[in-house]
Structure 1
């Protein structure tokens, strides 16, 4: 019997290369690293905003403006300081770059509102002063008890301290500022104020005269108006609601609404 032996064949197992698989699996790390970097930058910015002062925010505004116009960023460290006439540098607006006003507006109004909130907290005025951002701009509503005695348009000594700090804050922005007087619907009839019309106008005018005299405001940026009882925030049916309606509103107009204001002639 003849036996035929089959030669043993060496089996070679080729292992598949994992390089492509590793490349595919590790590709997400690039996107993840980018995400973590962006997230870190976000929290750094949020931390900066939580402790930012007006000077730093002013520099941020200029940095964004320059970036939109092709310029570089500006970063200037400034220590916190007491509010004073020389503490802040007013914003300047360059309208030569399209869209720049909208960006600077949002930043400037955010700066002003933040400082007003700090002023409110400092003087414990949370129940008497409110801020709200509307389409026309930033509205700062101050109840009449903060500024005047009942039936009067003369600022009280307490009002002077608050108005001084408020004036320094408002002086930073180049926006037009409209001061609006409002009353409740209870009638008044005095030699000086025959009706609520005269009282509301008298109060807004007193505020403007104070800003002009004490803080050297450019008068072209200010306007006074009085609405009497006819622009209430709430129905005049309770004592609390009437208190809300007796107020002076400081309106920092947005650039969009400034365009509808009468033009200032260059002299």
Structure 2
């Protein structure tokens, strides 16, 4: 009787239906370890990774040498910065405006440009009009001649309604000057630049936009060893200032055709 009761108790124990979870967990662990090894090999040595990948492919019946499928994450498309775009558009409009101004100055001063007495350049500072002193003044003097008055007033007409600041720079050669009016080339260059500024103001250009600089003989554009070089260095430069990041570009000496 005791043996029969024990056997019946054993036969009545319920069957465990969740034993498959143990095998499934082992499979997931092995699969995780497999991908960890694959990842480690791909980082350490690409050649070893390819060898290992081919071996796995042969084990699972894949054709050797088949091109692997590479999934690449799509590259993020940078969104345009509204401030950068606005800045670029403003610089583009500014550059176009300065170019139109330079062309207008070339047309206005065309006769003097052809004679080589005036040069118009557009550079990182803005648009510069370099006028030879022989057009503006008598030797050793800072009073504007009648010939220069008409040319400078034509330039003033273009500058009158333009919003940019204007810097007028006087330059001389290295020949010393000493008289009661001009003790040195410093005074001569500064007073000559001031004479041009005074004419601009009288022609309607706002005084607050104008600046006078006297360089004396410190910024030559040609050697002072020759008469031609000294004549080139005696000049007044009128620069319409701009913040454009352009490289120096000398405009053609022939004015554009209308």
Which band: TM-score by shorter chain? 0.5 to 0.7
Cross-structure match for 2:142:
153
Unaligned residue ranges in structure 1 (runs of 5+): 1-96, 258-267
Relative contact order (C-alpha < 8 Å, sep 6+): which is higher?
2
CA shift digits 1:18-41 (9 cap, x unpaired): xxxxxxxxxxxxxxxxxxxxxxxx
1:220 to 1:227, Cα distance in 2 relative to 1, 3 A: same
Provide the rounded CA distance (Å) in 1 between the counterparts of 2:93 and 2:142.
35
Q: What is the TM-score of this pair, normalised by structure 1?
A: 0.57
Q: Over the residues paired in the alignment, what is the CA RMSD in angstroms?
A: 1.8
Cross-structure match for 2:123:
134
Unaligned residue ranges in structure 2 (runs of 5+): 1-85, 246-258
CA shift digits 1:137-195 (9 cap, x unpaired): 11110000111111111101111111110111122421111000000001100111000
Q: 2:113–2:119: 8 Å Cα contact kept in structure 1?
A: no
Offset of residue 123 of structure 1 = 4.8
Provide the rounded CA distance (Å) in 2 between the counterparts of 1:209 and 1:231.
23
Provide the rounded CA distance (Å) in 1 between the counterparts of 2:110 and 2:127.
18
- 1:59-208 matches, cutoff 5 A: 97-123=86-112, 125-208=114-197
Q: What is the TM-score of this pair, normalised by structure 2?
A: 0.59
Cross-structure match for 2:34:
none
Offset of residue 111 of structure 1 = 1.2
Structure number, greater radius of gyration: 2
Aligned to 2:110, what secondary structure does the other structure show?
helix
- 1:28-39 matches, cutoff 5 A: none
CA shift digits 1:85-142 (9 cap, x unpaired): xxxxxxxxxxxx4334312221121111111211232456531000111211111100
